[in-house]
Chain A
Amino acid sequence: MTHAIALALVAAGCAVVAASVVGAVVVRGDVFLRLHFVTPATSLGVPLLAVGLCIQSGQPWVVAEVLLIALLLGAAGPVLEAAMARTAAQRHGVIASEQPE
Chain B
Amino acid sequence: MSGYTVCCIVLAATLAPALLLGSRGAPVERLLGLALVNVVVNALMLVLAQVQHQSYYLAVPLVLVPLSLAGTLVFTRLLGGRDDSS
B contact set with A: CB distance below 8 Å = 3-4, 6-7, 10-11, 13-14, 17-18, 20-21, 26-29, 31-33, 35-36, 39-40, 42-43, 46-47, 49-50, 55, 58, 61-62, 65-66, 68-69, 72-73, 76, 79-83, 85
Q: Are B65 and A91 touching (Cβ within 8 A)?
A: no
Interface size for A (C-beta < 8 A) is 50
Give the interface SS of chain A, mostly helix, strand, loop or mixed.
helix
Q: Are B4 and A7 touching (Cβ within 8 A)?
A: yes
Complex: how many Å from CA A90 to CA B27? 12
A contact set with B: CB distance below 8 Å = 7, 10-11, 13-15, 17-18, 20-22, 24-25, 31, 34-35, 37-38, 41-42, 45-46, 49-50, 53, 56-57, 59, 61-62, 65-66, 68-69, 72-73, 76-77, 79-80, 83-84, 86-88, 90-93, 97
